[in-house]
Structure 1
């Protein structure tokens, strides 16, 4: 009878777990400190090891436990350094995981107060054989607050033979009262070069044929975690084809195993984006999706590639190797793609794809949203940033100066629109047309770009500076306002003559103007809450000339539309029709046109608002002191 004994397979992450401080990759700041503490015999009673997954927290806790309980003294022949000797019974038992005085607890399942009370009670007893009784609490952040509170007193004043070691990925979840009683070591993510070196050594020991491209791909997939990289490598070796009896790792086989695509695909997509070729972008995306790739995985890879391009653009060729943590071939690929775009464009691309990646988690049609995200990258090249548009306008924000590019692109307007624009330009103050600071200027200088600055359109010196009134026919229908706000703010190019240059008014025209004025003022006085408009038209100069009723008011241009509102307009037009002036046009002029001409003081109508104002003692005192004249009175009282 022949018995066959098969040794159980041990995964690479366990088989090649470091057993000495010197074997731990990428955590020198922790290992050097612990070795110095062992050499000086400065042993703390509590340690917290925090950091990324799979970077050696529990491994270093076990090595420290071996070093503390090693039976050979530091400096002896078997143990010349603080490293554990690895040959004594304590070291071999701890390495095998069956040491009596080293208790490793999974805090994710033993997280309650009862379990911690049992731990606290057992901690009072001295170790069975070794120097220290050591508790290693893995995933310590899972312990409840009540359980941590039960452990506080033991952590504050522990027995001399107790050492607590807590490993966690979320140190912020451990109460501050616990953290303040322990020494906290923050572990770093393992660098790509360190992971690559470890993978290359393990491949040689395992007899695996692997090129640098395959090992670099495994190291990048680890994302700073040595355990993750070893797990993926273990899986890749199991699926690798044999060559002369040895497994051979190939980059394409590893990509297929992980469900990823080569970054050359994303380089091609960005080249199509740079060339404004939407059809090519959709064609490449369609090929990837038809091959069975997940849209979420593709979006994730695209985000990582855009991030690498952005970092390569910022850092340049020199510092990119340290910041990117990717292979040399991928660094060159990222630099080629980064050279096609500016830093701002790559930032916007990354924002769009990050948003797309987030949306794919809860969208039904993931394929459509992924394709839409790629099309947005093409569209972003066609858009001008709003900051660049705003930077072409004057510093003061006045519409007096406009970029020449905007004025040239604008189509021809009608006569009405053109004269309104000319009048608004004429009345606007002339300001400096120097463009404002552009936030993109420094970026252009850095990337040796030379954009053409848009020159503001010059202001014609011959544009008239006097606002022109709007001609409103008095016979217009009631529904169309003739003295509205637009009639004041939209001047007409025609009327520029002043009252002094107008022909002399005959006696009959003057009498007709007085009659029309009287009829309009009386109609407004009879109406409710129109005393202000009545006073304004009563104080105005009325004249009938060239088929027009010209009313020179004393109200400013800004206030005229408020004093003579739409309701007052209807009343005036009705009164003019009743007085037989329906064929004449009504033209309202603001007070600025004849402000320099002396005006006669009209007698205030008895009971009017102006009469009440003239009776006020404060007004009378101001008139006597300053020789003041009351021109306009606005009634702001309520109707009641």
Structure 2
């Protein structure tokens, strides 16, 4: 007899031999014992899990010549010795017709089946039709079979096996009993492979059998097919084939998961060069980028499940539900636990999402190697990013509506223009708690998140700058304070309350009787004029003329097409008249200035200036500097308006300082109340 593959040689012949489908076999055996035989069955589920096998066993049990409870057949299992059981097992029974519905799917074939179904069985009790891949039958053919399924002859039984039950019309499914098969568990496949290896005389270690069971992916037939191939390629020692894990991996074209564990360790250590080196070694060895990405996705999925289930690096707590979720060997469970311990659940989820997208892109990209390497580098870069939530969690929380929380004299002052007074006597505010973090930070628990390297020049400065240097001296009485003379500063600017935290101002001394009990206070004196650059003075007439010219030029740009950006840039600029030059100090960089205010916009501005009678002035456009950009003043807002309140909020001020932000639209939700 010719060689028979393992999947056919060890095909179950009894309900008890079917692995992992107890919910189906028990139900069918009870139905046979009670005589509750349906005229139509649908067996659906994953490939290679026993759908057609159970259909054949059920046909043997229905047409078995021996009655249930007899000496040869004590249970509902087929006896396997009568002529009917033997013929069905060999596939030459007259009354059990097995049809490949993938090739006999048309309405003509179904009509022939329907006409033949009217005749009585030749010898057995039932005429049974087994339709394999039933979802391939056309809708017209199913409609031709509906009447026979609804009112079938007593001797007809239909059994349909399919992997896609949703493709079978609902009218057909409602007339049949539907059994949904489960994927075979890893332990059941491993047990079957271990028994077959013993019967076949194959020396296989536990690691090799586990690798075969995992490669089956829930399909017993797939696992047996791979085992058959592995035995054929295995070396023979003392007349017995020897299976080991490395030989099976080479046969299947896969790599050990230890490689992916090494990649994740390099990702945790922020070592991009090592990640690319490992990927280069795998690709140079002839491995497909798509296959590597597929394996890495499966490994990351196991790491996520291990993190959720709380499986430790030693494989602890890998029993029960955790083992059911992973469906991998004990060694692989420990490996997944070690990799999961390096990252948080959120990071592992992001890694899995990136590799899933990479695996999807490899299907239609030409340079698969480059996209695979890019996907691995993204994992390293994800460790360097800070989510917006963590950045916002470091902002101070206001003590009241629109009022920042005062953190003593160490709080960072907001930069403002020069003040008309050089010194001001102020009482020191009460000390506040040193911490500026909110009551809750969603990232406080996750200590494994990486931060920027210490040498990174682009790291945002989130720490609080050094406090403003102050000089304090105690005095015994308020009456002893003398008002300080204001320094001679030729320009006006916002008050000092914008420079230092707000504090109670001490006014000129009043009669001593107003203070019955003098208190000892701290006086903070800050020299402001020494550190403020004084711009060149400009007459009020020149300022008004420059403002009028700015208005004329901006309106001309707004009326022109596609010059809105230039109009906004010149509206935010500072216009000054110095001699015969009209100097426009913009906030744009040297690179962006000619791009925003292009040649066409400059022509429009010059024409508008000539019409306004300022043609003699030479227009000079100046780019902004870093200092000017940092000291950029927000647009004036009406006092008490929603925009003014928004500008006073500490979170808005912090965002302006960090990101050079600008408020463009403010929605006041209180207006509709």
- The residue number in structure 1 matching 2:379 is 377
Write the mapping of 1:116-265 to structure 2, written as runs, cut at 5 A.
116-265=110-259
- The residue number in structure 1 matching 2:260 is 266
Separation in 2, partners of 1:591, 1:55? 75
- The residue number in structure 2 matching 1:553 is none
Answer yes or no: is 1:386 the counterpart of 2:380.
no
What is the CA-CA distance between 1:388 and the residue it aligns to? 2.2
- The residue number in structure 1 matching 2:344 is 342
Separation in 1, partners of 2:363, 2:238? 45
Task: Check 1:258–1:250 CA distance in 2 against 1; reply closer, same or farther (3 A cut).
Answer: same
Answer yes or no: is 1:362 the counterpart of 2:429.
no
Q: Which runs of 5+ in 2 are unaligned?
A: 312-316, 421-435, 451-461, 468-499, 506-536, 553-604, 615-634, 641-673
What is the CA-CA distance between 1:475 and the residue it aligns to? 2.1
Contact 2:98 2:131 in 1 (8 A): yes
Contact 2:95 2:122 in 1 (8 A): yes
Answer yes or no: is 1:323 the counterpart of 2:325.
yes
Separation in 2, partners of 1:256, 1:247? 16
Contact 1:210 1:250 in 2 (8 A): yes
What is the CA-CA distance between 1:461 and the residue it aligns to? 1.3
- The residue number in structure 1 matching 2:2 is 8
Answer yes or no: is 1:88 the counterpart of 2:82.
yes
Answer yes or no: is 1:460 the counterpart of 2:513.
no
- The residue number in structure 1 matching 2:598 is none
Q: Based on CA coordinates, which of the two structures has the bigger radius of gyration?
A: 1
- The residue number in structure 1 matching 2:438 is 435
Q: Which runs of 5+ in 1 are unaligned?
A: 1-6, 420-432, 465-469, 486-565, 576-587, 594-640
What is the CA-CA distance between 1:391 and the residue it aligns to? 3.7
Separation in 1, partners of 2:222, 2:110? 31
Contact 1:392 1:403 in 2 (8 A): no
Task: Check 1:139–1:591 CA distance in 2 against 1; reply closer, same or farther (3 A cut).
Answer: closer
Q: Match for 2:294 among 295, 300, 320? A: 300
Separation in 2, partners of 1:308, 1:290? 26
Contact 2:266 2:275 in 1 (8 A): yes
Separation in 1, partners of 2:261, 2:636? 68
Considering fraction of residues, name the structure with more helix.
1
Separation in 1, partners of 2:357, 2:239? 47
Task: Check 1:277–1:127 CA distance in 2 against 1; reply closer, same or farther (3 A cut).
Answer: same
- The residue number in structure 2 matching 1:26 is 20
Contact 1:55 1:190 in 2 (8 A): yes
Contact 1:68 1:132 in 2 (8 A): yes
Q: Match for 1:59 among 53, 64, 67? A: 53
Contact 2:393 2:437 in 1 (8 A): no
What is the CA-CA distance between 1:249 and the residue it aligns to? 0.6
Task: Check 1:590–1:267 CA distance in 2 against 1; reply closer, same or farther (3 A cut).
Answer: closer
- The residue number in structure 2 matching 1:332 is 334
Separation in 2, partners of 1:189, 1:260? 23
- What do residues 166-198 of structure 1 show as CA deviations (whole Å, max 9, x unaligned)? 000001111111111000000000000000000
Higher mean alpha-carbon deviation, 242-251 vs 381-390, is at 381-390
- What do residues 600-624 of structure 1 show as CA deviations (whole Å, max 9, x unaligned)? xxxxxxxxxxxxxxxxxxxxxxxxx
Answer yes or no: is 1:101 the counterpart of 2:103.
no
Using the size of structure 1 for normalisation, the TM-score is 0.67
Separation in 2, partners of 1:223, 1:140? 23
Task: Check 1:291–1:589 CA distance in 2 against 1; reply closer, same or farther (3 A cut).
Answer: closer
Separation in 2, partners of 1:346, 1:77? 60
Contact 2:43 2:162 in 1 (8 A): yes
- The residue number in structure 2 matching 1:619 is none
Number of equivalenced pairs: 471
Separation in 1, partners of 2:374, 2:381? 10
- The residue number in structure 1 matching 2:662 is none
Using the size of structure 2 for normalisation, the TM-score is 0.64
Contact 2:358 2:375 in 1 (8 A): yes
What is the CA-CA distance between 1:205 and the residue it aligns to? 0.7
Contact 1:393 1:402 in 2 (8 A): no
Task: Check 1:592–1:41 CA distance in 2 against 1; reply closer, same or farther (3 A cut).
Answer: closer
What is the CA-CA distance between 1:387 and the residue it aligns to? 2.6
Task: Check 1:591–1:242 CA distance in 2 against 1; reply closer, same or farther (3 A cut).
Answer: closer
Contact 1:320 1:331 in 2 (8 A): no
Separation in 2, partners of 1:197, 1:291? 34
Write the mapping of 1:353-502 to structure 2, written as runs, cut at 5 A.
353-393=355-395, 435=438, 438-440=441-443, 444=446, 460-462=501-503, 473-475=540-542
What is the CA-CA distance between 1:390 and the residue it aligns to? 3.2
Contact 2:208 2:248 in 1 (8 A): yes
